[in-house]
Structure 1
Amino acid sequence: MPRNTIQFQKGLGLHDFLEQYGTEDQCRQALYDLRWPTGYVCPECGNTTGCELKKRQIYQCHKCHHQTSLTAGSIFHGTKLPLRTWFLAIYLLTQRKKSISALQLSCKIGVNYNTAWRLKHKLMQVMMERERGKKLAGRIELDDAYLGGEQAGKRGRGSRNKIPFVAAVETTRDGRPMKIQLRRVRGFRKREIARYARSCLMPGSEVFTDGLWCFSGVTTADCHHNPMVTGGGRQSVQYSCFKWVNTMLGNVKNSLLGTFHAI
């Protein structure tokens, strides 16, 4: 059996990460290069000449004398934690398939639980805001999902104990996944799916669904609807046209079960 190229793709190992971002100076230089890739630029007047006041760790413009720090206006602004702690948290949060709990994170980076919780949620908020407003386009696999619930009860559609979500994956024409999206909805009604489609899907997209009636609402956003009635049971997840949305939902549920046991 051939290897799964996605599972065996080269990543950034911990040893390589520590070589690049193991010291505070390395982290500051990396942040400097990201903020000013062509050199210092005053955020107030746009002047490109200034000096660094090293004792205070701020930069001062030669023209307007405006002072700014390397972390000003960023997620690191006002932090009392070393940048290397932030960078390590980013690495641990993004390199694990099943995420990482705040408790685990606190042990790994050497901070208390409350600090780890706030740090993690800041990073997750930034990731969410970066993707907010971006719409899926082209070929899209769409499915309904139900997540959460602390009490046992009815599973799947019709459950009053779980939160409904729309799961979507944008793929290339030859079926390669490009972007994923998981968006909470108020319920699976045609009007609600129409609202979702106008907010999250580009007009002209080709949407593949399992035939659930409410998904026809995507046509109100000028999307092409391709329903494929799959029925229930194990066979319903074997259709190749829904391969990636089923894979995404499987990974999400495994992440919740493996990391956040109370959800």
Structure 2
Amino acid sequence: MAMNQIQFQKSVSLTDFLLRYGSKDQCAQALVSNRWPDGFRCPSCGAAEHYVVSHGARKLFQCRGCRHQPSLTAGPLMDSTKLPLRTWFLAIFLLSQAKTGLSALALMRQLGTSYHTAWLIHHMVMLAMAKVDAEEPLYGQIQMDDANLGGERPGVGGRGSPNKVPVVAAVSTNSKGHPMRVKVTPVSTFSSAAITVWARINLTPGSDMRSDGLPCFAGVVDAGCAHSYVVVGRRKPRELPQFTWVNTVLGNLKTLINGAYKAFKFRKHAHAYLGAFAY
């Protein structure tokens, strides 16, 4: 059987990660390089001259000109945090490298924090990943499919169930048919209007979309994309090579939910979990 090269693509090992970010000074220097790649510049006045002021475990860079004090951890993710930078860096590494997901309980055991702290870190990192993923739309040849997540409460199952959250999955591929990027996004409903709104946010105009013929998917045309479809009927996924990658993504998503998370409040947290998964 041929080796799947995608599964063996190079990544950062835990050993490499600890060599790069194993100390608080290494983590702090990484933040400095990321925030000010060309050297310190005051975000208020633009001056370069500064000195470091310590407030307990926090370090502030005080501008000599206007006395403004920007912090390394300023921003939505780590603002005013009292946790060590090493804890944040390790959490980001673990969550971004876990293909099958990592629950807040498992993260708690890895970080050595309380469950409440691990849960907050888990969700803040996922929201940051979802935000980054949402900023770059798909383009080119795209496979598209629908799915339904949820069903915590007894009731009618399947598409259209009030217990489930409708989700659109899309995978962009290159000229050789290899997957490039993924979008897995909750939508309000499977209607042409909802799909048009989704496409305007998540697709680049001019992209070529292929779906299974669900009528609402024609809404991508109103967003400036081409649309073709293959009638699936009763055929199995293995009989539909046109949708290999989007079916693989949905299979991995179901494995992640059933394995790492078991269940979560789909209507409340679907955006964060799905955005982190796509990232």
**What range is the shorter-chain TM-score in?**
over 0.9
Counting only pairs closer than 5 Å after superposition, residues 68-217 of structure 1 correspond to structure 2 as 68-73=70-75, 75-151=77-153, 155-217=157-219
User: What SS does the corresponding residue of 2:6 show, helix, strand or coil?
Assistant: coil
Residue 239 of structure 2 corresponds to which residue in structure 1? 238
CA contact (8 A) 1:52 1:60 kept: yes
Distance, in Å, in 2 between the alignment partners of 1:152 and 1:98 is 27
| Contact 1:165–1:184 (Cα < 8 Å) also in 2 | yes
Structure 1 stretches of at least 4 aligned residues deviating more than 4 Å after TM superposition: 151-155
Identity of aligned residues (%): 47
Match of residue 43 from structure 2: 43
Return the offset for 1:22. 1.0
Who is 1:252 aligned against? 253
Deviation, 1:188, is 1.8
Q: Deviations over 1:203-261 (max 9, x none)?
A: 21100001122212211112111111121342x45322211111110111000010111
Instruction: Verify the 8 A CA contact 1:145 1:156 in the aligned structure 2.
Output: no
| 2:86 alignment partner, SS class | helix
Deviation at residue 169 of structure 1 after TM alignment: 0.9
1:218 to 213, 217, 220: 220
Instruction: Specify the alignment match of 2:33 in structure 1.
Output: 33
The amino acid that maps onto 2:214 is L
Q: 1:12 corresponds to which residue?
A: 12
Listed as ranges, the gaps of 5+ residues in structure 2 are 265-279
Distance 1:10 1:201 in 2: 28
SS in 2 for 1:69: coil
Deviations 1:167-215 (A, max 9, x none): 1111112212121111112222223222322332222110000112221
Secondary structure of 1:241's counterpart equals helix
| Matched AA of 2:239 | Q
Confirm or deny that 1:67 pairs with 2:69: yes
More helix, by proportion: 2
SS at match of 2:7: coil
CA distance in 2 between counterparts of 1:197 and 1:38 reads 37
> C-alpha distance in 1, partners of 2:63/2:191?
56
Could you tell me how far 1:55 is from its partner in structure 2?
A: 6.2
Q: CA deviation at 1:73?
A: 2.8
Distance 2:247 2:256 in 1: 14
Secondary structure of the 2:70 match is strand
* Alpha-carbon RMSD: 1.8
Higher relative contact order, structure no. (Cα contacts within 8 Å, ≥ 6 residues apart): 2
Q: Aligned AA for 1:123? A: V
Mapped to 2, the partners of 1:158 and 1:74 lie a distance apart of: 36
TM-score (normalised: structure 1): 0.92
Q: Is the 8 A contact 2:134 2:202 kept in 1?
A: no
Once the two structures are TM-superposed, the CA of residue 153 in structure 1 deviates from its matched residue by: 6.1
